[in-house]
Amino acid sequence: MKKLVALILVFFPMYMLGQTTDAKDEALSAVSKFCTLLSQYSNGGTTYLNNDRKIFDLCSSQKISTFDDIKSNKEVMLNSYLSLITRQYKNHLKMSFSQPQFVEALTIPTVQLIKKYQNFEGGLALASQDLKVDGNLDVYILIDVAQTIPSLGIQTKRKFIYSVVEHKLLAFIVGNSPFIMMCNAIKAYSENNLGKALNYCDKALANERFDKKFACAGLAINCCLKMNNYRECYKYTPYLGEQKEIYNIMLDCMLAIESKDMNKAFGCLQILAESKVANYSDCQALLANFYANGYGCTRNRQKALDWYRSANKEGSAIAGYMFWIDFMYVEDKDDENLDFKEGEIYNFIKTSAERGCLPSFYEVALCEANFNNTEKEGYWYKKGAELGDIKGFVSYGLWLSSVKHNKQESIYWLKKAVNSSNLSSYLEHQDIKKYGMETVDDIKKLLYCVEHDIPVPSFSGTKEQFEECFRKVSEQMSSSSTNIPHSSNSYSNSSYTGSNTSSSTSYTQSSYTYRKRSKPFNCPNEDHPVAGFSVGYVQKQWSVKSDGEKFKVGYWDDSKFISGVQAGIRVEPLFKYGFGIDTGLYYEFYYSKSKPQTSDGVEFSPSMQDHSLYLPIHAEYRLNFSDSFQAFFYGGVGFDLVVASSIKTNSDILEYEDDDAYHSLDFKKFNASVEFGGGLRYSCFQLNFTMSKGLLKMNSSDEMMIKQNKMMCNLSVMF
């Protein structure tokens, strides 16, 4: 019950930080006008008498935050700031402003918990819990300027805050503004640093003239709620103005239910159900639940029905589901006298599902199964699965197998259920126990059945049908050899394993384990990524053999190599026992600049550029130490093709007759090399180091032998 109430009542405004560039020009224009008008006003002249009105027109009010003559940085209102200039400086305080600079835009949307997807039965629900953006509260554009007052010898960095919604300036301040504090709180909240966000909120709210206290208090309240510190929420309700009392009642209700004071909780709900605050329709549904079950009041099924109808009419997503539970699963003799309308019960639960209440999906699916609408049944199972609910994984997987006979997709969804980290705790609270699925092993049995073509019932089947399905598993276990053959289909997965059992082991409900599938030695996971994007550093050099001497050069005589960058697609299909292939296609760009040279008395600095394609074909052996970590080495051949090259000078007088860098040295543009290398992979990140020794003669002269060598270091992201 506590989770249900928290789910219903947690609807205080919440805020997240985003980025936008909309209205930036509008904000910069407003700041420029403000700075121009303020300079004219403070410097005197015939226009200052009207400039105060023009300045106020640019601002949200005449009382926005600003400062006095900067010496004290004491915060005053804008109208007081202008009055100070008039009185103390007689409108002859010269000041100037730098060009306004855009800093950032803080999008401040109102968001709420998506409680309509929350499974308040205590199950997974976390997978489908999220935040829903209901609309933007505002967008704050932050602009920096430097304010200079020569007579005081002071220059101060100022910050303007512009409201996109109001089309007005909110503040002309330094960095300790309460607006900045609230923006910092929003950022901390979005990073789930709740304590830090609450600290920023407290600092912002401490400013007496901060005019965004309602929004800031709403953020602080949500921090407290997420920290399960309900009593601390009372500290911030005074900032909610006329809504203070109703929010206090909500908190009273939550604390009353937490302490099991149902009489007090019932009294609070009566007030909330009649109010018009956000989510009052859900409060009406909760009040109906109290009447239906006699929590803190005399049990009255008619009043419960009336309040459920009202809540449903007002748009509550959970009303239909709670009504279904109270009137379909709880029998009462008084229900015979209630004036149910034709189809009303079904319409209630369907409306709840259509509004997004996750538990309602499965009730509607079962109804559709009873109506023999199998496609609609599958539709609702699929919606639950797509929201990340384990019950959806199981129900949709069974439906795909029993109705659609789609083995591959069925296994996909059942494996998602089996591999869910919180499957065990989820099953403790779920009603799928009535189907015989009480433990993690029970879900594993279903996956085993589908993989081994043992027919499974749809989720709408009976407990007896599931027991018959499990009995067939037992028969196969007892009649097979120790190593039960598993499907060789590529979608089978060994991530679900139990202990090995001998053929003499008899199957029982409590001791069931199925066999661990053997995997060939040193084989990767079947979902091992085989392709990815690679970037890295590459060196190219030429090995020269002439007159019995050997030496290595870059393109220029004074260099040992030329450097470049390499980017492309890496492809690594892997086979059994650690063997595989390393290949791909890469683009390389080289740039090299020589030291200054002299020709005919003219000094110049030549440079060259090289655009190449590279194709490796390597045999690879990989040591799979774990699913996440592997080491590997490889060897093979590589092919290089220069697609464009150039050589230039920086002189307007000198230039090369042939500006093709390879033609000028009589180098060939195609090369084949023998290559070897190795590397490491952790998760999807892979590091490669490769050496390349040229096989082909790169020049046409008979007097010397030139071959091209390379060294490459790459980081790849595999997917």
**DSSP 8-state secondary structure symbol assigned to residue 99:** P
Residues 442, 480, single domain; the answer is yes
Q: How far apart are CA 109 and CA 410, in angstroms?
A: 39
Residue type, 546: S
More confident position, 588 or 704: 588
**Which residue has better confidence, 715 or 357?**
715
Q: Tell me the pLDDT tens digit for each residue of 528-575.
A: 788 999 999 999 999 998 877 888 888 887 788 999 999 999 999 988
Answer yes or no: do 420 and 386 share one domain: yes
| pLDDT over 50 at 511, yes or no | no
Alpha-carbon Rg for the chain, nearest whole angstrom, is 37
| CATH number (domain holding residue 125) | 3.10.450
| Last residue within a domain, chosen from 486, 518, 550 | 518
Q: 89 vs 49, 54, 290, CA distance in Å?
A: 15, 20, 69
User: Where does the pLDDT of residue 640 fall: very low under 50, low under 70, confident under 90, or very high at 90 and above?
Assistant: very high
* Residue at which a domain ends, from 175, 194, 215: 175
Task: Tell me how crowded residue 684 is: count the other CB atoms within 10 A of its CB.
Answer: 12
Q: pLDDT band at 577, cuts 50/70/90?
A: confident
Asked if the model's pLDDT at residue 331 lies above 60, the reply is yes
Question: For residue 67, what pLDDT band results from cuts at 50, 70 and 90?
Answer: low
Does residue 157 belong to any structural domain of this protein? yes
**Is 406 within a domain?**
yes
Separate counts of helices (H) and strands (E) for the chain: 21, 20
Lowest mean pLDDT among 205-209, 379-383, 409-413, 583-587: 205-209
pLDDT of residue 517: 37
What is the DSSP annotation of 319-352? HHHHHHHHHHSS--GGGGGS-PPTTHHHHHHHHH
* Residue at which a domain ends, from 137, 153, 175: 175
pLDDT above 70: residue 316: yes
Tokens matching residue 567: 């980017």
Average pLDDT over residues 582-607: 87
Q: Is residue 62 part of a domain?
A: yes
Distance CA 255, CA 233 (A): 11
| pLDDT above 90: residue 583 | yes
User: Considering the domain boundaries, does residue 525 fall inside one?
Assistant: no
Q: Token pair of 681, please?
A: 């992979």
- Residue 436 and residue 470 in contact, taking contact as beta carbons nearer than 8 Å: yes
143, part of any domain: yes
User: Are 593 and 693 found together in one domain?
Assistant: yes
- Measured CA to CA, the distance from residue 366 to residue 372 in angstroms comes to 10
Q: Which amino acid is at 251?
A: L
* 508 and 641 housed in the same domain: no
Q: Which long-range contacts (CB under 8 A, 24 or more apart) does 28-36 make?
A: 28/100, 28/102, 28/143, 30/58, 30/162, 30/167, 30/168, 30/169, 31/100, 31/143, 31/145, 31/160, 31/162, 31/169, 32/100, 33/58, 34/58, 34/59, 34/160, 34/169, 34/172, 35/97, 35/100, 35/145
Q: Which helix (H) or strand (E) holds 682?
A: strand 670-682
Q: Is the dihedral of CA 14, 16, 20, 25 positive or negative?
A: positive
Task: Identify the domain containing residue 567 by its residue range.
Answer: 531-718
Is residue 221 included in any domain, yes or no? no
- What is the mean predicted confidence (pLDDT) over 658-662? 87
Confidence of residue 430 (pLDDT cuts 50, 70, 90): low
Q: For residue 675, report the phi and psi dihedrals to the nearest 5 degrees.
A: -135, 155
State whether 561 and 710 are in the same domain.
yes
Percent of the chain whose predicted confidence (pLDDT) is above 90: 28
Pair (537, 509) in one structural domain: no
Report the length, in residues, of the chain: 719
Q: Round to whole Å and give the CA distance between 286 and 271.
A: 12
Average pLDDT over residues 360-366: 90
Q: Which of 38-52, 151-165, 261-275, 619-633 has the weakest average pLDDT?
A: 38-52
Q: State the pLDDT confidence band at 176, using cuts at 50, 70 and 90.
A: low
Report the C-alpha gap between 631 and 689 in whole angstroms: 12
Number of domains observed in the structure of the chain: 3
129 confidence band (pLDDT: 50, 70, 90): very low
The pLDDT of residue 492 is above 70: no
**Average pLDDT along the chain:** 79
User: Residue 234: CB partners within 8 Å, gap ≥ 6?
Assistant: 248, 251
The pairing of strands 75-77 and 65-67 is: antiparallel
